[in-house]
Structure 1
Amino acid sequence: MKKNLYVMIITVLIIFFNIFFSKTCLADITDEVEKQLKEMELNRINSFLQEIEKEYEGYVPSFDINFILDFIRGKNRFDVKNFFISLFEYFFKEIKANYALLAKLIAMAVVFAVLKNMELNFENNNISNLAHSVVYMVLIIIAVQSFYVAISAGKNAIDRMVAFVQSLVPVMMSLLLAVGGKVSNAVLHPYIFAAITASSTWIKDIILPIVLLIAILNIVNNISDSFHVSQLATLMKQIMILLIGIFLCVFLGTIVVTGAAASAVDGIFIRTMKFASKNLIPIVGGVFADTVDAVIGCSLIIKNALSLVGLIVVIVITAFPVIKIFSIIFIYRIAAAVIQPLGEKSLVKSLEDIANSLVLVIICVASVSIMFFIAITVILSAGNAATMMR
């Protein structure tokens, strides 16, 4: 009876202790996480986040070290609804900024139509053809200028993604190592850095020039009724899509399989070491294993928070340049719709082809974004899988 009483008293004391000190323990864990986070070298990431916030001020939340801490505390400052509203606002801002482009295109179409209607008044048809060619050349210049703006926006987005991921990956890899992902760190670190460099070079120096060539071929195809290169443009487009598809398949397939295999090995290794420390070293081994678990847990929280912030930043870096390019596409679509009643089929076809070429630029930027998104996700899942398996 007395023994049962002692058991009940001890049980009540344990429950009371857990209830009374649970918040304190949680606060201690949060404090330890914040302490580890502040001791890390995050200056490069922090300056990068502030640069994005400055450029897109009013459209994105405040990106700084406190943004990461809020993620850890569960206070998410990234509102998806407000983000989409900001994207719409930015889109209409870009539409307003491109009013001049729309006015130029419509003016060129009107001049083109007037020259065509006055063709019979010219004594020599060569003069009429020359006038048409001059107007078309002006259109080509306008198209190339706007296309250059889109290409520049795409390249800047890729450069920013590369710079951000290069600054993020070393920090995430050190945290992956802290949670016991020794094999994952050794395998993924060099592979991801090589993939980042390769994807940047591949898209910027090979794919985007092909897109520019496709746009030029489409414009040239509509200059004359006797000279056509539409099949060559179609062939180049198919080659471009094939190259992107091959690169994505190789990158994604390799990194996913490698990450899964490495995390499995890490999980087995951690579990073995934990079992050995608890059973081979009496008393102290169990305390040591529990302490290591606490440190690993804090590192895992930081790594997951950084990974989520990294995914959000990659989305932001991708979204705004894509919106900028999409606004130019929208302008060309409007211009083609307005010009079509004037009867200028070649001009309308040229505008449609330019818009379609700009869509290819968006595909290139989105491809790089997907690769980096998957890379960060694999690092995130590698640490989590290794920790769960232990």
Structure 2
Amino acid sequence: MIRKRTWILRLIFISILLVLIGKPSASYAMSTQEEEYDYTQIQKSLNSALGKEDNMNFGEYVKNLLSGKESFSFKGVFQKMLQTIGLEFKSNLSSLMKLLTIAVISAVFTNFSHTFQNSQIAETGFYVTYLLMFVILASTFIGATKLATDTLHNVLNFMKALVPTYCMSVAFCTGATTSAAYYQGILILVTVVDYLLLKIVFPLTSIYMMAVLANNLSQEDMLSKLSELLATLIRWMLKTLLAVVIGIGTIQSLITPAVDQVKRSSIIKATQMIPGIGGLFSGVAETVLGAGSLLKNCIGVAGLVAIIVICAIPIVKLIIYVLIYKLVAAAIQPISDKRIVNCVSASAEASSLLLQTVFVAAILFEIVITIVAVSTMRVT
């Protein structure tokens, strides 16, 4: 009897204690949880990718999202993109003029070749101008490849830093099963992007560029089918990777979160059956889990914005590369040799492949973060 009374008194004491301190506000729960996350590695990756001038404070941005403030907007990104467009056109103006000048000189040798009794003179002049064109196109393409490679490295390093923190927030509001599954899935995706895009697609793009330049060196068409095959293969690889990631992510989002949701719901419903304090437990759980879900979504949104900021300027630069090559090809087509025009057009195509690769990589990680955020919305 004494033991029974002691147990009842303890239960009453615990209930009173939970009423007094066990029902935190949503803002307090969010601030308490937010302090437990470390954004140091994420911020280091952003500093490395953006530099100090264009830096984005990831931790402050998450806090401002939680509080409803807006310290970082896309307006600054758009302004920087407009500045980049002007600077890139100015910096590439010299290359544009060089290409046009070489094309005009080549046209002189081509159009007046009939005046020479020996056609080898015209061919020699063409080869000289073609080699000059080769050097300029190859140097600009190497710069574009380095830009695309550095951008992918920056995105991969950012994702490697973001995944532990993001999956920790997922684990808090859903469960360990969902968090572990998404953690492994994102790391696999990072590895696939690193291997497939950096070690296969970019080298294939360089081979495509060299094949086109070598093919147009002579009048005989020997490597055009190889270059077409390489371009088609690269596009298929990008489309296949995008489709596979979306498919696997969608299927995983339908199954994995449901397992933790069933476990969580069972525990909460079991606590609701406790007389007197069941409803209190349920209220506290809903408040804490709701705050955790909001924090998870804020970290995800900050990650989406960071990827856009990292990729926006390089994508604009690659677009400018493509536009300049296409502009030159359109300008010299009426007067220049078709082999010169084909080389410039191939450079535009190669830069377009680099642009598509960077864009697909950015979209892949944006989709993955979005799938994780949407599939873990329900916490009870």
The aligned counterpart of 1:234 is 228
Q: Greater CA deviation, 66-75 or 335-344?
A: 335-344
Q: Counterpart of 1:343 in 2: which secondary structure?
A: coil
User: Matched residues in 2 for 1:251 and 1:66: separation?
Assistant: 31
The aligned counterpart of 1:96 is 90
User: Matched residues in 1 for 2:84 and 2:131: separation?
Assistant: 32
CA separation of 1:56 and 1:150: change in aligned 2, threshold 3 A: farther
User: Matched residues in 2 for 1:39 and 1:327: separation?
Assistant: 43
Q: Greater CA deviation, 62-71 or 30-39?
A: 30-39
Is 1:38 paired with 2:38?
no
Cα offset for 1:109?
A: 1.2
Is 1:192 paired with 2:192?
no
Q: Greater CA deviation, 109-118 or 136-145?
A: 109-118
The aligned counterpart of 2:242 is 248
Is 1:331 paired with 2:324?
yes
CA separation of 1:243 and 1:53: change in aligned 2, threshold 3 A: closer
Is 1:139 paired with 2:133?
yes
The aligned counterpart of 1:382 is 375
Q: Out of 38, 51, 54, which is 1:54 matched to?
A: 51
The aligned counterpart of 1:288 is 281
Paired residues for 1:103-182 under 5 Å = 103-117=97-111, 119=113, 124-182=118-176
Q: Out of 176, 197, 200, which is 1:203 matched to?
A: 197
The alignment's TM-score, normalised by the length of structure 2, stands at 0.87
Paired residues for 1:254-273 under 5 Å = 254-273=248-267
CA separation of 1:161 and 1:87: change in aligned 2, threshold 3 A: same
Cα offset for 1:70?
A: 1.1
After superposition, give the CA deviation of every residue in 1:218-270 in whole Å (9 maximum; x if it has no partner). Answer: 22232222233222211222222222222222222112111221112222221
User: Matched residues in 2 for 1:229 and 1:53: separation?
Assistant: 40
The aligned counterpart of 1:351 is 344
User: Matched residues in 2 for 1:94 and 1:34: separation?
Assistant: 43
Cα offset for 1:170?
A: 0.9
Cα offset for 1:288?
A: 3.0
CA separation of 1:232 and 1:56: change in aligned 2, threshold 3 A: farther
Amino acid of the residue matched to residue 40 of structure 1? Answer: Y
User: Matched residues in 2 for 1:269 and 1:31: separation?
Assistant: 26
RMSD: 2.3
The aligned counterpart of 1:8 is none
The alignment's TM-score, normalised by the length of structure 1, stands at 0.85
Q: Percent identity?
A: 24
Asked if the contact 1:172/1:307 (under 8 Å) is kept, the reply is yes
User: Matched residues in 1 for 2:131 and 2:53: separation?
Assistant: 36
User: Matched residues in 1 for 2:376 and 2:73: separation?
Assistant: 27
The aligned counterpart of 2:19 is none
Asked if the contact 1:260/1:382 (under 8 Å) is kept, the reply is yes
Is 1:315 paired with 2:312?
no
After superposition, give the CA deviation of every residue in 1:64-86 in whole Å (9 maximum; x if it has no partner). Answer: 42221111112234444554343
The aligned counterpart of 1:5 is none
Paired residues for 1:297-316 under 5 Å = 297-316=290-309
After superposition, give the CA deviation of every residue in 1:285-330 in whole Å (9 maximum; x if it has no partner). Answer: 4333332322222221111111001111112222211111111112
The aligned counterpart of 2:335 is 342
Q: Out of 332, 357, 366, which is 1:364 matched to?
A: 357
Asked if the contact 1:277/1:289 (under 8 Å) is kept, the reply is yes
User: Matched residues in 2 for 1:163 and 1:40: separation?
Assistant: 18
User: Matched residues in 2 for 1:93 and 1:55: separation?
Assistant: 19
For structure 1, list consecutive stretches of 5 or more residues without a partner in the other structure.
1-24
Q: Counterpart of 2:217 in 1: which secondary structure?
A: coil
Q: Out of 203, 213, 232, which is 2:207 matched to?
A: 213
CA separation of 1:56 and 1:321: change in aligned 2, threshold 3 A: farther
Amino acid of the residue matched to residue 96 of structure 1? Answer: K
CA separation of 1:64 and 1:311: change in aligned 2, threshold 3 A: closer
CA separation of 1:191 and 1:64: change in aligned 2, threshold 3 A: closer
CA separation of 1:71 and 1:50: change in aligned 2, threshold 3 A: farther
Cα offset for 1:108?
A: 1.2
User: Matched residues in 2 for 1:255 and 1:137: separation?
Assistant: 48
User: Matched residues in 2 for 1:33 and 1:83: separation?
Assistant: 29
User: Matched residues in 2 for 1:329 and 1:202: separation?
Assistant: 23
Asked if the contact 1:157/1:365 (under 8 Å) is kept, the reply is yes
After superposition, give the CA deviation of every residue in 1:323-360 in whole Å (9 maximum; x if it has no partner). Answer: 11111112112222332342332212221121012111
Amino acid of the residue matched to residue 373 of structure 1? Answer: E
After superposition, give the CA deviation of every residue in 1:144-175 in whole Å (9 maximum; x if it has no partner). Answer: 11111111111111111111111111111111
Cα offset for 1:376?
A: 0.7
Q: Greater CA deviation, 46-55 or 250-259?
A: 46-55
Q: Counterpart of 1:39 in 2: which secondary structure?
A: coil
User: What count of residue pairs does the alignment treat as equivalent?
Assistant: 358
CA separation of 1:363 and 1:353: change in aligned 2, threshold 3 A: same
User: Matched residues in 1 for 2:40 and 2:359: separation?
Assistant: 27
